[in-house]
Amino acid sequence: MNEEFGAALAEIAEEKGLDKNEILKMIEASLAAAFRKDYGNKDQNIVVDLNPENMAMKIFDVKTVVEMPEDPQKEVTLEDAKKLKKSAKLGDEIRTDITPKTGTSFGRIAAQTAKQVIIQKLREAERNVLFTEFKAKERQLITGVIQRMEKDTVLVDMGRATGVLFPSEQIKNEQYKIGSRIKILILHVESTAKGPKITLSRSHPDVVRRLFEIEVPEIFNGVIEIKALAREAGSRTKIAVSSNQDGVDPIGACVGQRGTRVQTVMAELGGEKIDIIEWSEDPVKFIANSLNPAKIINVELNEAAKEAKVGVMEDQLSLAIGKAGQNVRLAARLSGWKIDIAGEKIGGPSTEKAGPETPEVESEAEEVKEAVEEVEKQEEPEAEQKPADTHVPDLGKGEVPTPNQQAETEVGEEMQKGSTEDN
**Mean pLDDT in the chain?**
81
325, part of any domain? yes
268, part of any domain? no
pLDDT at site 384: 42
The residues near 252 (Cβ < 8 Å, ≥ 6 apart) are: 395, 396
Whether residues 11 and 103 fall in one domain: yes
Residue 419 has pLDDT above 70, yes or no: no
Using CA atoms, how far apart are residues 287 and 399, in angstroms rounded to an integer?
18
CB count within 10 Å of CB 367 equals: 18
Q: What is the mean pLDDT of residues 189-212?
A: 96
57, part of any domain? yes
CATH of the domain at 313: 3.30.300.20
DSSP element (H, E) containing 203: none
Q: Which of 126, 160, 127 is nearest to 142 (CA)?
A: 160
Higher pLDDT among residues 66 and 381, named by residue:
66
Whether residues 141 and 83 fall in one domain: no
Whether residues 351 and 336 fall in one domain: yes
Residue 332 has pLDDT above 50, yes or no: yes
Whether residues 329 and 359 fall in one domain: yes
Angle CA(144)–CA(152)–CA(168) in degrees, nearest 5? Answer: 80
271, part of any domain? no
Q: How confident is the model at residue 2 (pLDDT cuts 50, 70, 90)?
A: low
Whether residues 169 and 102 fall in one domain: no
Whether residues 118 and 168 fall in one domain: no
Whether residues 46 and 23 fall in one domain: yes
Whether residues 381 and 325 fall in one domain: yes
Higher pLDDT among residues 123 and 183, named by residue:
183
The residues near 144 (Cβ < 8 Å, ≥ 6 apart) are: 156, 157, 158, 159, 163, 181, 182, 184, 200
Instruction: Look at 167-176, 220-229, 364-373 and tell me which has the smallest mean pLDDT.
Output: 364-373
Domain boundary among 184, 203, 222: 203
Interval 303-316: pLDDT, tens: 999 999 999 999 99
Domain boundary among 92, 116, 133: 133
* pTM score above 0.75: no
Total residues belonging to the chain: 423
CATH of the domain at 172: 2.40.50.140
- According to DSSP, the β-strands at 307-313 and 338-344 are parallel
pLDDT at site 165: 97
Angle CA(49)–CA(55)–CA(61) in degrees, nearest 5? Answer: 20
Q: How confident is the model at residue 37 (pLDDT cuts 50, 70, 90)?
A: confident
217, part of any domain? no
Q: How confident is the model at residue 290 (pLDDT cuts 50, 70, 90)?
A: very high
Interval 73-95: pLDDT, tens: 899 999 889 888 889 899 999 99
Instruction: Look at 38-42, 110-114, 233-237, 340-344 and tell me which has the smallest mean pLDDT.
Output: 110-114
Whether residues 123 and 144 fall in one domain: no
Q: How confident is the model at residue 104 (pLDDT cuts 50, 70, 90)?
A: low
Based on its alpha-carbon atoms, the radius of gyration of the chain, rounded to whole angstroms, reads 35
Query: Please, are residues 310 and 354 in contact by the beta-carbon 8 Å criterion?
Result: no
Instruction: Look at 149-153, 230-234, 276-280, 405-409 and tell me which has the smallest mean pLDDT.
Output: 405-409
Domain count, the chain: 3
Q: Helix (H, G, I), strand (E, B), or coil: what is residue 72?
A: coil
337, part of any domain? yes
Q: How confident is the model at residue 388 (pLDDT cuts 50, 70, 90)?
A: very low
Q: How confident is the model at residue 224 (pLDDT cuts 50, 70, 90)?
A: very high
Residue 47 has pLDDT above 50, yes or no: yes
Higher pLDDT among residues 369 and 255, named by residue:
255
Using CA atoms, how far apart are residues 411 and 213, in angstroms rounded to an integer?
34
Using CA atoms, how far apart are residues 192 and 278, in angstroms rounded to an integer?
44
CA 219, chain centre distance (Å): 17
Query: Please, are residues 196 and 127 in contact by the beta-carbon 8 Å criterion?
Result: yes
420, part of any domain? no
Provide the domain limits for residue 368. 282-386
Residue 58 has pLDDT above 60, yes or no: yes
415, part of any domain? no
